[in-house]
Amino acid sequence: MKKVLIIHLGEGDDVSSVAFLGQDVSLHRVGCGGDAGRARTLIDEHDGTVDAIGLECMPASLHLGDTRLPHTVGATLSGGARTTPVVDGSGVRAELERWGIILAERAHPLIFNQKRVLMTPGVNHEGLAQALARRSSAMRFADPQLFFGLPDAPGVGSAQTLDQVAGATLEALKDAPFELLAGAVGTPHHPGMFVWADVLAGDMATIRRFAPSRLDHKIVIVEAASDDDIADLRQRGVTMLVTLMPSLEGKGKVARHSAATVEALLAALRPDPATPLTEDTYLDLLADLDWAPAVSVLQQEEAGINKFAFVIHPLSTRFIHEYPPFHWTRYVPDEIVEAAAAYVPPIFVGKITGGRSPVTGQRIEGYLISLGATPRQMMKHSPRFTYNLLNQAARLAERLGARIMGLGAFTSVVGDAGITVAHEADIAITSGNSLTVAATLETAKIAVRAMGRDDMTRGRIMIIGATGSIGSACARLAAQATKDVVLVSIEPEKLIDLKRKIEHETPGTRVVISTHANSLAGECDLILTATSAFGQRVLDVTECKPGAVICDVARPPDISAAEAALRPDVLVIESGEVLIPGDVEVGYDIGLPPRTVYACLAETSLLAMEGRFEDYTLGRNITPERVKEIYRLYKKHGYQLAPLRSFEEYITEEQLMHKRELAATLRADPELFARRKAEAKEHLKSIPATSKGVSGIRRGKASAAWGWAGVGAVALSLVALRRQARAR
pLDDT digits (tens, 9 = 90+) for 202-246: 999 999 999 999 999 999 999 999 999 999 999 999 999 999 999
The pTM of the full predicted model, rounded to 2 decimals, is 0.81
| 262, part of any domain | no
- Whether residues 541 and 558 fall in one domain: yes
Residues 6+ away with beta carbon under 8 Å from 565: none
Q: In the chain, how many domains are there?
A: 4
Query: In this predicted structure, what is the pLDDT of residue 320?
Result: 87
pLDDT per position as a tens digit, 165-181: 888 889 999 999 999 99
Domain closes at, from 87, 109, 131: 87
- Whether residues 654 and 536 fall in one domain: yes
- Whether residues 631 and 677 fall in one domain: no
Alpha carbon distances (Å) from 280 to 79, 223, 283, 430, 542: 21, 21, 5, 45, 81
**CATH code of residue 527:** 3.40.50.720
Interatomic CA distance for residues 559 and 553, integer angstroms: 10
| 689, part of any domain | no
- Coil, strand or helix at 703: coil
- Whether residues 136 and 183 fall in one domain: yes
Query: In this predicted structure, what is the pLDDT of residue 696?
Result: 53
Higher local confidence (pLDDT), 576 or 167: 167
pLDDT per position as a tens digit, 84-116: 999 999 999 999 999 999 999 998 888 898 899
Which residue type occupies 419?
A: I
How open is the CA angle 27-28-29, to the nearest 5 degrees?
A: 115
Query: In this predicted structure, what is the pLDDT of residue 714?
Result: 53
- Coil, strand or helix at 174: coil
Read off the pLDDT of each residue in 614-623 and give the average, rounded to a whole number: 91
| 83, part of any domain | yes
- Coil, strand or helix at 333: coil
Enclosing domain of residue 367: 307-434+583-636+701-720
Q: pLDDT-derived band of residue 556, with 50, 70 and 90 as boundaries? A: confident
Interatomic CA distance for residues 228 and 486, integer angstroms: 70
Asked if residues 212 and 194 have their Cβ atoms less than 8 Å apart, the reply is yes
Alpha carbon distances (Å) from 235 to 193, 230, 231, 232, 562: 20, 9, 6, 5, 57
- Whether residues 614 and 493 fall in one domain: no
Q: In this structure, how many other beta carbons lie within 10 angstroms of the beta carbon of residue 173?
A: 21
Q: 458, exposed or middle or buried, with CB in 10 Å at 0-12, 13-18, 19+?
A: exposed
- Whether residues 75 and 105 fall in one domain: no
- Coil, strand or helix at 384: helix
Read off the pLDDT of each residue in 189-195 and give the average, rounded to a whole number: 82
Q: Are strands 2-8 and 52-55 parallel, antiparallel or unpaired?
A: parallel
| 358, part of any domain | yes
- Whether residues 286 and 237 fall in one domain: yes
- Whether residues 312 and 296 fall in one domain: no
Read off the pLDDT of each residue in 185-195 and give the average, rounded to a whole number: 81
Q: What is the DSSP letter of 450?
A: H
Asked if residues 296 and 254 have their Cβ atoms less than 8 Å apart, the reply is yes
Helix, strand, coil percentages for the chain (3-state, nearest 5): 40, 20, 40
Q: Are strands 649-650 and 645-646 parallel, antiparallel or unpaired?
A: antiparallel
Asked if residues 615 and 542 have their Cβ atoms less than 8 Å apart, the reply is no
Angle between helices 126-133 and 93-107 (to 10 degrees): 30
Q: In this structure, how many other beta carbons lie within 10 angstroms of the beta carbon of residue 187?
A: 8
Residues present in the chain in total: 728
- Whether residues 208 and 97 fall in one domain: yes
| 693, part of any domain | no
- Asked if the bond preceding 556 is cis, omega within 30° of 0, the reply is yes
| 694, part of any domain | no
Q: In this structure, how many other beta carbons lie within 10 angstroms of the beta carbon of residue 653?
A: 8
Read off the pLDDT of each residue in 587-614 and give the average, rounded to a whole number: 93
Query: In this predicted structure, what is the pLDDT of residue 148?
Result: 85
pLDDT per position as a tens digit, 56-69: 999 999 999 889 99
Q: pLDDT-derived band of residue 702, with 50, 70 and 90 as boundaries? A: very low
Give strand pairing partners of 299: none
Of the listed ranges 123-137, 465-479, 698-712, the one predicted with least confidence: 698-712
Give the chain's mean pLDDT: 89
Residue 706 has pLDDT above 50, yes or no: no
- Whether residues 230 and 153 fall in one domain: yes
Query: In this predicted structure, what is the pLDDT of residue 300?
Result: 79
Q: 489, exposed or middle or buried, with CB in 10 Å at 0-12, 13-18, 19+?
A: buried
Q: pLDDT-derived band of residue 693, with 50, 70 and 90 as boundaries? A: low
Residue 552's Cα: distance from chain center in Å?
Answer: 29
Interatomic CA distance for residues 433 and 412, integer angstroms: 8
pLDDT per position as a tens digit, 39-52: 999 999 999 999 99
Interatomic CA distance for residues 39 and 74, integer angstroms: 10
Q: Which residues of 399-424 are buried (b: 16+ CB within 10 A; e: fewer)?
A: bbbbbbbbbbbbbbbbbebbebbbee
Alpha carbon distances (Å) from 480 to 92, 461, 485: 64, 11, 10
Higher local confidence (pLDDT), 186 or 377: 377
Query: In this predicted structure, what is the pLDDT of residue 697?
Result: 44
Taking alpha carbons only, the member of 393, 414, 417 closest to residue 404 is 393
Give strand pairing partners of 379: none
- Coil, strand or helix at 314: coil
Q: What is the DSSP letter of 694?
A: B
- Whether residues 425 and 491 fall in one domain: no
| 274, part of any domain | no
Interatomic CA distance for residues 267 and 203, integer angstroms: 23
Interatomic CA distance for residues 716 and 711, integer angstroms: 9
- Whether residues 37 and 179 fall in one domain: no
Of all residues in the chain, what percent carry a pLDDT higher than 70? Answer: 94
| 320, part of any domain | yes
Q: pLDDT-derived band of residue 25, with 50, 70 and 90 as boundaries? A: very high
How open is the CA angle 682-686-689, to the nearest 5 degrees?
A: 105
